Amino acid sequence: MIQSEFVYLPEVGRIIAGVLQGRMDHLGSLFVDREYHRLGIGRSLVEHFEKEVCRNQGIVICVAYSLYAVPF
């Protein structure tokens, strides 16, 4: 079960290409399937998340990171 205020699942056709999950103050995880890298999906997810947080009076977003993540 995902316990987040925000969960986005971008679709390309009928395929889920990634996921972003987070809370008002924290971007918990962002994944984009390798096949869909470099298409602006990750950027679009983060921008949408930022707008939703701002619309709900959020001010600061902490971002989790991994040393093993693909550069973004």
Q: What is the pLDDT of residue 34?
A: 93
Q: Provide the token pair at 20.
A: 């972003």
| Mean pLDDT per 10-residue segment, the chain (72 residues) | 83 95 90 94 94 90 80 72
Strand order in the sheet with 62-63: 6-8, 18-23, 26-32, 62-63
Domains of the chain, start order: 6-63 (3.40.630.30)
Q: Which phi and psi (to 5°) does residue 55 adopt?
A: -65, -25
> pTM of the predicted model, to two decimals?
0.83
Give the angle subtended at the CA of 55 by the CAs of 51 and 57, to the nearest 5°.
120
Strand duo 18-23 + 15-16: pairing? unpaired
